[in-house]
Amino acid sequence: MATSNQEIRKVADEQYRYGWVTDVEEESAPPGLSEDIVRWISAKKGEPEWLTDWRLRALRHFFKLVEEDQNPKWANLEVPPIDLQAISYYAAPKPKLELESLDQVDAEILKTYEKLGIPLLEQKRLAGVAVDAIFDSVSVANTAKESLKKHGIIFSSVSEAVQEHPELVKKYLGSVVPYSDNYWAALNSAVFSDGSFVYIPPGVRCPLELSTYFRINAKGSGQFERTVIIADKGSYVSYLEGCSAPMRDENQLHAAVVELVALDDAEIKYSTIQNWYPGNEEGVGGIYNFVTKRGKCAGRSSKISWTQVETGSAITWKYPSVILQGDNSVGEFYSVALTKGRMQADTGTKMHHIGKNTSSKIISKGISAGQGQNTYRGLVQVGAKAENSRNFTRCDSLLIGDQCGAHTVPYVEVKNSSSSVEHEASTTKVSEEQVFYCQQRGLSPEDAQSVIINGFVRDVVRRLPLEFAVEANRLLEINLEGAVG
């Protein structure tokens, strides 16, 4: 037990390896939230009137929610009060130049990516990954745009898409997550800065894994990303999102919205690795991550799959969900959530079965170490018309140390007799017998724990696209293997 105690201490002591600040000139909005700020952001981005109006409607709705104190409090999280007026809602790196090649990208920014272990220069050579690098709020590099253009694929920042494809943005923005959806979605809709916009035309299989790195950099700025992905009939796209933020003393708010739409026979695979700064050992600092992610299987036989590896953030509030509207559509959710130190995670998924023969699968693996609190919260809802729908849910929790907590809160709501729903969950620690067995075969206790934990998360990690596994493995190694040897 002595060794495992040491390991636990190691988890707690594990330093955040990606903490640094890049010096880039910022052009920021003054702190505060008001209609003027929203108009300023909208004007800054040269948005059409309908979008400005939409933002303002969202802001009014948000103010109403604030007034009614509708800030969601049902999650198993202790959220310190957040001063919304102290946040700057827009931060952009230097005014954008016309960037044709990577040479034109700010050297400081390139250095940041190098520190992240994923230099853009290398990216071009690496396995055909197109990187839409979002540095704070504005897209600064867009590497594979030309090759995607050939297939008619639109992969750009939302700001660009608003200019170039206003009809698509107008049609789909807010169609899955309306601004009235929840508190944080309303705030995002009012002040969203930028994000990715993806449109895959009918019948096209996107030749690249699309990837974006979100970074929070400007001190005191929250980040409000908005991502919209549309897969038209018969198309396929795999989208990768990875996060890493510099070390900060004050808490930073992140309220992103991701909307996915899959039409007939289309498939979207959305993978996330989130490794934001979780705060120090006393729980000071760290990112507050309030995310609304939702996909709509609008068409027949469409499929949306979420995969997430959550190893960072002081607070994670995130429920990637799927609306299974089209008949025969499929929703999947694979998740690894790690909490250590004083991190709190309340995450899970929602599967809304509306169409006939819809099926969903949920695999969630939670790991709690130190004083971390890890909650799985999931909803499986089967409507009266969702004949022959199926769900399988498996969520397991692993406990490391006696100070942490693991909670499982599934909701199952079924209104149909022909559907079948299964939920099972277990919570245990790494058993001494398992460690002993491995030791018998010559593994050190540290290696044994590592093997057991790697086995525990394998079901989820192997769902990640191979190209992404470089980054994923590195982050997991830092967080998990640092935790257990």
Partner 1 sequence: MTGWPSGRAHSNSTMPQNDSQESHYLSMFAAFEKNGASDSPDWLKTLRREAIADFERNGFPTARRGNELWKYTDVRPLANHVFARSDGSNHEQIDFAAYKLPCPRVHQLVFVDGHYAADLSTEPPSQSAHRAETIGHRSEGLIVGRLSEAIQERLPLVEQYFNKQVGSSAFASLNTAFVEDGALIYIPDGVSVHEPIYLLFITTGRSQVVTHPRVLVIAGVNSKSTIIQGYESLITDAKPGFTNAVTEIVTHSGAVLNHYKLQREAANAYHISSTHATIGRDSHLASVALDLDGGLVRNDLCVKLAEPGASVKLDGLYIGEGERHVDNHTFVDHFAPRTSSNEVYKGILTGASRGVFVGQVMVRPEAQQTIAHQLNKNMVLSDEAEIDSQPMLEIFADDVQCTHGATVGRLDATAVFYLNSRGLSTQEAQQLLIQGFVSEVLSAIVDDAIRQYTDDAVLTKLV
Binding residues (CB under 8 A) for partner 1: these are 70, 72-74, 76, 181-183, 319, 321, 323, 350, 352, 377, 379, 381-382, 384, 397, 399-429
Contact 315, 77 (CB under 8 A): yes
Q: Please name which of 27, 85, 168 lies closest in space to residue 156, comparing C-alpha atoms.
A: 168
Q: Which of 215/294 has CB closer to partner 1?
A: 294
DSSP letter for 326, please: S
CB of 433 to partner 1, least distance (A): 12
Contact 287, 312 (CB under 8 A): yes
SS3 329: coil
CA distance 464 to 334: 9
Which segments within 342-459 are labelled E, that is strand?
Answer: 344-347, 350-353, 359-369, 373-382, 390-400, 405-414, 420-429
CB of 78 to partner 1, least distance (A): 13
CA distance 83 to 480: 33
Task: Tell me which residue has tokens 């971390």.
Answer: 372
CB of 413 to partner 1, least distance (A): 5
Q: Which of 244/321 has CB closer to partner 1?
A: 321
Side-chain-facing half-sphere of 344: CA atoms under 13 Å: 16
SS3 388: coil
CB of 382 to partner 1, least distance (A): 8
CA distance 261 to 346: 25
CB of 404 to partner 1, least distance (A): 7
What are the beta bridge partners of residue 275?
Answer: 244
Q: Which of 346/471 has CB closer to partner 1?
A: 346
Q: Which of 165/394 has CB closer to partner 1?
A: 394
Alpha carbon of residue 6 to chain centroid = 32
Q: Which of 105/343 has CB closer to partner 1?
A: 343
CB of 406 to partner 1, least distance (A): 5
Q: Which of 272/321 has CB closer to partner 1?
A: 321
Longest Cα–Cα distance in the chain: 70
Alpha carbon of residue 80 to chain centroid = 22
CB of 15 to partner 1, least distance (A): 24
Contact 329, 358 (CB under 8 A): yes
Side-chain-facing half-sphere of 44: CA atoms under 13 Å: 21
CA distance 339 to 444: 24
Alpha helix locations (H) across 348-389?
Answer: none
DSSP letter for 314, please: S
Q: Which of 235/302 has CB closer to partner 1?
A: 302
Q: Which of 361/474 has CB closer to partner 1?
A: 361
Q: Which of 172/468 has CB closer to partner 1?
A: 172
Q: Which of 108/424 has CB closer to partner 1?
A: 424
CA distances from 62 to 182, 221, 279 (A): 9, 19, 28
Instruction: Work out the burial of residue 30: count CB atoms within 10 Å of its CB; fewer than 13 is exposed, 13-18 middle, 19 or more buried.
Output: exposed
CB of 87 to partner 1, least distance (A): 22
Q: Which of 247/414 has CB closer to partner 1?
A: 414
What is the C-alpha end-to-end distance of the chain, expressed in Å? 14
SS3 99: coil
CB of 315 to partner 1, least distance (A): 16
CB of 450 to partner 1, least distance (A): 18
String of DSSP letters for 295-314? EEE-STT-EEEEEEEE---S
Q: Which of 218/345 has CB closer to partner 1?
A: 345
CB of 321 to partner 1, least distance (A): 7
- List the structure tokens of 142: 């867009």
CB of 72 to partner 1, least distance (A): 5
Q: What is the H or E stretch that residue 71 is in?
A: none
